């Protein structure tokens, strides 16, 4: 009798909990039911789509979004994701402070990047963004050209050994160059990776992406009580330790440098010194833990993105010699035929190269899908009502391939960025740096650095690559990458 009573009570409590749970989510179900989307199964929703190899995830997501009318819904287990490719929706979402909260899935990178700007949210994030964003101003970025040129020179020397030596992956060489540049300009440290090879810190910073992404894409690794027994967790602990050890040393050197310099820090000093000095003058503004998180975030956000885009530009110029010739002609007009260092005046004149970089940023957006958490009900318009608790997906990858916006959507085609084409296009049709209050803070820095590297590259080398862009198979981890690397061949540039 007692057993029956306990059992019935248990069932009643369970039923009440389930009913309450569903009732509190009623709005989600009502809205989702009115939207287009693939058939959802009990418990898993549409998560079955992700049962595939990691390399296939990007194309699966792209295809499912192309298949349904926008805005559409997608269930990942109990999580509702609303996806829209409509540019007026994208503009409202990206520019609204209501959508500045990163989705809970970012917690898997948060374990490495802490409250850094990429993974942080909430009032502390807002306060820190207001401090850090202005540091990456035009004056600071242009003042770093000398350092960028110094490490680019080393890289160009290294690349000379690949001339007429057949196919190689340029990412392996360019990555070290960007690590050196970011090491000195942001971390205030001469890492000299190009000369001495990767350090433990660099290897861990590289592994951080793969390890974080592995957990993100394997739902059974999400619960902490399972994850803690895996090798991924063990590696995560090692990575975090290596990063912290190195950054603590680097922060200590920054303190020392500033005390020796009598805090003679200016707005062109390494970012670490500028933030350190800010903390010195405003105690309690940024904790030491958050300082470390900001430094690893800036390092990781800068070196990986710039290496990927540069390597893709080299690959595309190799695949499309007609556009390489145009870019080279511009370089010849600005620099002449004897290689020389780059200045900010040169960078401003490199208009065609700018179009080439932009079309690569279109084809290979670093963040193919951006996820935001909606913290309160929001009506974008009649066709898109976003309930509190839903996840909003901005599908940059699909927008950047929409044939209504792009004449040659699947090919590298720099003319997409001719002024008359740009003036006819919706501004939110091209958002490689995202936009609004959570947009990239390193846009100017990236632009200056990429052009410095590529202008040097084109002054010295002719690049070749097989195939055309639709042949490049792309995958997504934390960023967008080619499955088979960036395979190119180099010849010495001979000016006619």
> Which listed range, 384-392, 415-423, 433-441, 463-471, lies at the site for ligand HEM (CB under 6 A)?
433-441
> Which listed range, 17-25, 51-59, 297-305, 422-430, lies at the site for ligand HEM (CB under 6 A)?
297-305
How many other CB atoms are there within 10 angstroms of residue 426's CB atom? 14
- Closest distance to ligand HEM from the beta carbon of 129 (Å): 5
CB 259 within 8 A of CB 251: no
Asked if 440 touches ligand HEM (CB under 6 A), the answer is yes
CB 81 within 8 A of CB 390: yes
| Residue 104, token pair as written in the block | 């809970």
What x/- string results for residues 68 through 107 when contact with ligand HEM is judged by CB under 6 A? Answer: ----------------------------------------
Q: Which is nearer to ligand HEM, 126 or 234 (CB)?
A: 126
Coil vs helix vs strand at 144: coil
> Which listed range, 162-170, 221-229, 283-291, 365-373, lies at the site for ligand HEM (CB under 6 A)?
365-373
The DSSP code for 34 is T
Among 35, 145, 301, 490, binds ligand HEM (CB under 6 A): 301
Asked if 361 touches ligand HEM (CB under 6 A), the answer is yes
Q: Which is nearer to ligand HEM, 35 or 480 (CB)?
A: 480
> Which listed range, 57-65, 75-83, 244-252, 437-445, lies at the site for ligand HEM (CB under 6 A)?
437-445
Q: Which is nearer to ligand HEM, 479 or 489 (CB)?
A: 479
202 is in an annotated binding site: no
Among 31, 83, 292, 298, binds ligand HEM (CB under 6 A): 298
Q: Which is nearer to ligand HEM, 26 or 126 (CB)?
A: 126
Which phi and psi (to 5°) does residue 400 adopt? -70, -5
- DSSP E strands, 292-420: 370-373, 378-381, 384-386, 391-394
Q: Which is nearer to ligand HEM, 125 or 461 (CB)?
A: 125
Determine how β-strand 391-394 pairs with β-strand 79-83. parallel
| Residue 342, token pair as written in the block | 């780059």
Alpha carbon 305 to chain centroid distance?
A: 6
What x/- string results for residues 135 through 174 when contact with ligand HEM is judged by CB under 6 A? Answer: -x--------------------------------------
Give all strands of the β-sheet with 79-83 in edge-to-edge order: 72-76, 79-83, 391-394, 370-373
CB 205 within 8 A of CB 300: yes
425: left (phi over 0), alpha (psi -120 to 50) or beta: beta
Half-sphere exposure of 136 (CA within 13 A, CB side): 18
Asked if 306 touches ligand HEM (CB under 6 A), the answer is yes
- Closest distance to ligand HEM from the beta carbon of 437 (Å): 8
Tell me which residues in 202-241 interact with ligand HEM (CB under 6 A): none
469 contacts: CB under 8 Å, gap ≥ 6? 316, 319, 363, 410, 411, 412
CB 312 within 8 A of CB 357: no
> Which listed range, 41-49, 247-255, 295-303, 398-406, lies at the site for ligand HEM (CB under 6 A)?
295-303
Among 183, 270, 429, 432, binds ligand HEM (CB under 6 A): 432
Tell me which residues in 441-470 interact with ligand HEM (CB under 6 A): 441-442, 445-446
> Which listed range, 17-25, 70-78, 231-239, 361-369, lies at the site for ligand HEM (CB under 6 A)?
361-369
- Closest distance to ligand HEM from the beta carbon of 44 (Å): 25
Q: Which is nearer to ligand HEM, 117 or 458 (CB)?
A: 117
Nearest to 360 by CA among 417, 403, 407: 417
CA distances from 335 to 329, 339, 346, 446, 450 (A): 10, 7, 8, 21, 17
Among 315, 328, 367, 448, binds ligand HEM (CB under 6 A): 367
Asked if 35 touches ligand HEM (CB under 6 A), the answer is no
- Cα-only R_g, the chain: 24
Among 58, 87, 117, 239, binds ligand HEM (CB under 6 A): 117
Largest Cα–Cα separation, the chain? 99
CB 140 within 8 A of CB 267: yes
Q: Which is nearer to ligand HEM, 440 or 490 (CB)?
A: 440
Asked if 250 touches ligand HEM (CB under 6 A), the answer is no
Point out the residue whose Cβ comes nearest to ligand HEM. 442
| Residue 239, token pair as written in the block | 């990575």
> Which listed range, 69-77, 334-342, 429-437, 469-477, lies at the site for ligand HEM (CB under 6 A)?
429-437
Determine how β-strand 480-482 pairs with β-strand 487-492. unpaired
Coil vs helix vs strand at 464: strand
Measure the CA–CA gap between 372 and 94, rounded to whole angstroms.
9
Residues that bind ligand HEM (CB under 6 A): 117-118, 129, 136, 297-298, 301-302, 305-306, 309, 361, 366-367, 370, 432-434, 438, 440-442, 445-446
Annotated binding site for heme: 440
């Amino acid at each position: 009798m007692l057993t029956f009573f306990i059992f019935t009570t248990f069932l009643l409590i369970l039923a009440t909990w389930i009913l309450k749970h569903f009732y509190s989510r009623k709005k989600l179900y009502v809205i989702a039911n009115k939207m287009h989307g693939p058939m959802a199964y009990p418990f898993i929703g549409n998560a079955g789509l992700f049962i595939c190899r990691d390399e296939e995830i990007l194309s699966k997501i792209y295809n499912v979004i192309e298949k349904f009318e926008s805005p559409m819904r997608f269930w990942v287990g109990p999580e509702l994701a609303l996806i829209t490719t409509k540019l007026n929706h994208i503009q409202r979402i990206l520019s609204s402070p209501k959508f500045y909260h990163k989705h809970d899935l970012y917690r898997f990178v948060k374990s490495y990047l802490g409250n850094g700007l990429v993974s942080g949210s909430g009032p502390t994030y807002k306060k820190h963004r207001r401090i850090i964003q202005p540091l990456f101003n035009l004056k600071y970025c242009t003042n770093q050209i000398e350092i960028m040129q110094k490490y680019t020179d080393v890289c160009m020397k290294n690349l000379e050994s690949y001339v007429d030596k057949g196919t190689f992956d340029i990412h392996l060489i360019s990555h070290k160059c960007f690590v050196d540049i970011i090491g000195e300009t942001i971390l205030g440290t001469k890492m000299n990776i190009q000369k001495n090879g990767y350090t433990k810190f660099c290897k861990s910073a590289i592994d951080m992406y793969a390890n974080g992404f592995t957990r993100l894409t394997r739902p059974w690794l999400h619960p902490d009580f399972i994850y803690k027994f895996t090798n991924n967790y063990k590696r995560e602990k090692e990575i975090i330790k290596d990063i912290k050890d190195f950054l603590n040393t680097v922060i200590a050197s920054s303190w020392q440098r500033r005390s020796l310099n009598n805090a003679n820090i200016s707005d062109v000093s390494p970012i670490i010194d500028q933030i350190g000095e800010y903390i010195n003058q405003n105690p309690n503004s940024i904790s030491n833990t958050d300082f470390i998180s900001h430094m690893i975030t800036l390092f990781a956000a800068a070196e990986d993105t710039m290496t990927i885009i540069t390597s893709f530009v080299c690959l595309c110029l190799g695949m499309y010699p007609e556009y390489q010739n145009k870019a080279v002609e511009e370089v010849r007009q600005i620099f002449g035929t004897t290689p020389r260092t780059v200045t900010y005046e040169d960078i401003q004149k490199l208009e065609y190269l700018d179009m080439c970089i932009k079309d690569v940023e279109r084809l290979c957006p670093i963040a193919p899908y951006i996820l935001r958490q909606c913290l309160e009900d929001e009506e974008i318009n009649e066709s898109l009502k976003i309930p509190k608790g839903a996840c909003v997906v901005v599908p940059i990858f699909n927008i950047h391939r929409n044939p209504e916006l792009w004449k040659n959507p699947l090919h590298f085609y720099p003319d997409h960025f001719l002024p008359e084409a740009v003036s006819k296009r919706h501004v939110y049709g091209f958002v490689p740096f995202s936009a609004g209050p959570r947009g990239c803070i390193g846009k100017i820095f990236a632009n200056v650095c990429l052009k410095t590297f590529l202008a040097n590259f084109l002054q010295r080398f002719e690049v070749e690559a097989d195939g055309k862009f639709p042949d490049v198979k792309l995958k997504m981890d934390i960023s967008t990458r080619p499955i088979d690397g960036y395979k190119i061949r180099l010849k010495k540039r001979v000016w006619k």
